[in-house]
């Protein structure tokens, strides 16, 4: 995520957005990264990409420097446009990947700017609904089905599901310590990680699902405490 300094507007008009799109396309060819999603809001942008030949830091630097130089020249200004360094999160599982993509597409909806994700012109949702050489859409659609028509239907339905997902938001983070989680498990008669692992799958998953609902607990933290893999925990609903 790249945000305008002091949360200022980074797009004055659609020409600005088109310029940024063209720069992303340009550096996608040069840097060789895979692009799976984007959304241009008024004062920030989201990108979901996979680094290849160059690091994410180098890719974002190329894009942001080129855009700021163009923007400053167009509006006869100088200085920074984006706030500090970009913010990023590593996506480790297919489930998390799809949630991040859904979050990106729902950004305008959750901001109250649209009534559906399809009304926002400046996101990659439209690149999925029609053939596009800009977004690496086939990788994403195959996560839903090998049948192209069914994959598109399942993708569209998933992107519209309501949720409480949060990624890279300026929201004060509530954190829960390992000790608090361990105490919670002991209170429900789970004295050790081994005891949790030895439960019947249904009961174990129910406990994990309850833990995931507690604000401030991360999947990485649960995996560390319980000894259950992140991919298993991520799949538990």
pTM: 0.69
- What does the pLDDT read at residue 8? 87
- What does the pLDDT read at residue 169? 58
CA distance 207 to 143: 27
**SS3 category, 61:** helix
CA distance 107 to 43: 12
With CA atoms as reference, report the closest residue to 190 among 177, 202, 203: 203
- What does the pLDDT read at residue 97? 94
36 to each of 27, 32, 138, 234, how far by Cα in Å? Answer: 14, 13, 10, 20
Long-range contacts of 176-184 (CB under 8 A, 24+ apart): 176/214, 176/215, 176/216, 176/217, 176/221, 178/221, 178/224, 178/225, 181/211, 181/217, 181/221, 181/222, 181/225, 182/225, 184/211, 184/214
Residue 213 is classified by DSSP as T
Residue with tokens 């989201």: 46
Q: Each residue of 174-202: b (16+ CB within 10 Å) or e?
A: eeeeeeebbebbeeeebeeeeebeeeeee
- What does the pLDDT read at residue 151? 94
Q: Where do the structural domains in the chain lie, given as residue ranges? A: 2-74, 94-160, 178-235
Going residue by residue through the chain, which has 237 residues, state the pLDDT in tens, using 9 for 90 and above: 999 988 888 999 999 999 999 999 999 999 999 999 999 999 999 999 999 988 999 999 999 999 999 999 999 988 889 987 788 888 888 989 999 999 999 999 988 899 999 999 999 999 999 888 889 999 999 999 999 999 999 999 999 998 877 776 544 455 788 888 898 899 899 988 888 989 999 999 999 999 988 877 888 888 888 888 888 898 887
Query: Residue 196: beta bridge partners?
Result: none
Helices (H), the chain: 14-31, 56-74, 94-110, 125-129, 137-141, 148-160, 178-187, 193-197, 201-212, 219-226, 230-235
CA distance 228 to 206: 14
With CA atoms as reference, report the closest residue to 67 among 86, 51, 54: 86
């Amino acid at each position: 995520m790249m945000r305008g300094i002091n949360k200022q507007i980074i797009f004055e008009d659609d020409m600005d957005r088109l310029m940024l799109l063209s720069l992303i396309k340009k550096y996608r060819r040069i840097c060789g990264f895979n692009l799976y999603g984007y959304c241009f809001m008024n004062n920030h942008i989201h990108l979901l990409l996979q680094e290849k030949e160059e690091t994410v830091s180098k890719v974002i630097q190329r894009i942001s420097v080129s855009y700021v130089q163009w923007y400053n020249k167009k509006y006869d200004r100088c200085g920074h446009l984006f706030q500090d360094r970009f913010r990023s999160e590593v996506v480790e599982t297919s489930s998390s990947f799809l949630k991040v993509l859904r979050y990106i597409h729902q950004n305008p909806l959750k901001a109250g700017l649209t009534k559906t994700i399809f009304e926002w012109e400046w996101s990659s949702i439209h690149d999925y609904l029609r053939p596009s050489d800009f977004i690496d859409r086939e990788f994403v659609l195959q996560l839903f089905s090998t049948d192209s028509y069914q994959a598109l239907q399942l993708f569209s339905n998933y992107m519209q599901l309501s949720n409480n997902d949060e990624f890279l938001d300026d929201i004060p983070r509530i954190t829960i310590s390992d000790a608090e989680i361990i105490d919670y498990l002991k209170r429900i008669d789970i004295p050790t990680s081994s005891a949790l692992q030895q439960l019947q799958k249904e009961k174990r998953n129910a406990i994990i699902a309850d833990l995931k609902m507690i604000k401030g607990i991360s999947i990485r933290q649960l995996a560390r405490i319980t000894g259950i893999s992140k991919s298993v925990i991520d799949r538990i609903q």
